[in-house]
């Protein structure tokens, strides 16, 4: 089974890309949804968050109540140390949920799966996927779309953009770039073309069900990423 990572940025057009991929009957694991699942009261990560941050991050400040996302955000976003703690709890929990879903898809005989990860690069998950797809649009287009879509001032729109890694930096990690610089039809067509390029050979899919070959394939992907290194760090040495 070939596992591909997909990322982009706010207002880059990634949602359209995802819906196009789904229309091709290619399963997509949505990590935003998983991040919401792991902070539900029934999940172990919920208890770890409450143990560190206290019941103040919960609605009505009562154990068993859902996470108060606004309150939680006011605690972790201005404070890098607290954000690091939150990520150290949430990210491993999300990775576990990803692995569970990948295993189920592998059992079903799925040949290709896409993991939609906004923090694919920041969370270092790019190191364990076969290929990375980045949805890109120019910064000025990104800004105009956010202002029009969300009715924000330019200052507020820029603040949201600047809270993420610049799209142009994400392109350095990409094996495939889907350019969103025209209309929706062009974006959908570009997505289809990229997915056709990365579609795995059926023979490799069959071989992937033999444990020794599966291990070799996974090891090769990880080794290839390790040898390639972090593009941004490599670039800074030049």
**Chain segment 137-146, per-residue pLDDT in tens:** 998 999 998 8
Mean pLDDT of the chain: 87
Instruction: Give the whole-number percent of the chain exceeding pLDDT 90.
Output: 52
For the stretch 31-56, pLDDT in tens is 989 999 999 999 999 999 999 999 99
What is the average per-residue pLDDT within 209-218?
A: 69
Is the pLDDT confidence value at 161 over 60? yes
Round to whole Å and give the CA distance between 96 and 38: 10
Q: What is the structure's pLDDT at 237? A: 40
Instruction: Give the whole-number percent of the chain exceeding pLDDT 70.
Output: 88
What is the average per-residue pLDDT within 87-116?
A: 91
Q: What is the structure's pLDDT at 79? A: 85
Q: What is the structure's pLDDT at 209? A: 65
For the stretch 171-203, pLDDT in tens is 988 999 999 988 899 999 999 999 999 998 877
Q: Domains in the chain and their CATH numbers?
A: 1-27+111-224 (3.40.50.300), 32-109 (no CATH)
Q: What is the structure's pLDDT at 236? A: 43
């Amino acid at each position: 089974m070939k596992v591909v990572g997909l990322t982009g940025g706010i207002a880059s057009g990634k949602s359209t890309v995802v819906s196009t991929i789904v229309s091709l009957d290619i399963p997509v694991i949505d990590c935003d949804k998983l991040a919401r699942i792991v902070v539900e009261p029934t999940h172990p990560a919920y208890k770890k968050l409450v143990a560190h941050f206290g019941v103040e991050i919960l609605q009505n400040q009562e154990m068993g109540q859902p996470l108060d996302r606004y309150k939680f955000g006011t605690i972790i976003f201005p404070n890098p140390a607290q954000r690091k703690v939150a990520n150290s709890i949430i990210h491993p929990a999300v990775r576990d949920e990803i692995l569970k879903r990948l295993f189920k898809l592998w059992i079903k005989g799925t040949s290709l799966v896409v993991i939609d990860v906004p923090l694919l690069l920041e969370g270092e998950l790019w190191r364990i996927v076969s290929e990375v797809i980045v949805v890109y649009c120019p910064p000025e287009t990104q800004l105009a779309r956010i202002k029009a879509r969300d009715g924000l001032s330019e200052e507020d729109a820029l603040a949201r953009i600047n809270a993420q890694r610049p799209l142009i930096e994400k392109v350095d990690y990409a094996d495939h770039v889907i350019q969103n610089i025209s209309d929706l039809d062009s974006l959908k067509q570009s997505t289809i073309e990229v997915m056709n390029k990365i579609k795995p050979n059926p023979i490799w899919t069959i071989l992937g069900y033999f444990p020794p070959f599966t291990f070799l394939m996974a090891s090769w992907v990880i080794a290839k990423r390790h040898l390639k290194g972090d593009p941004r760090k490599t670039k800074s040495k030049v």
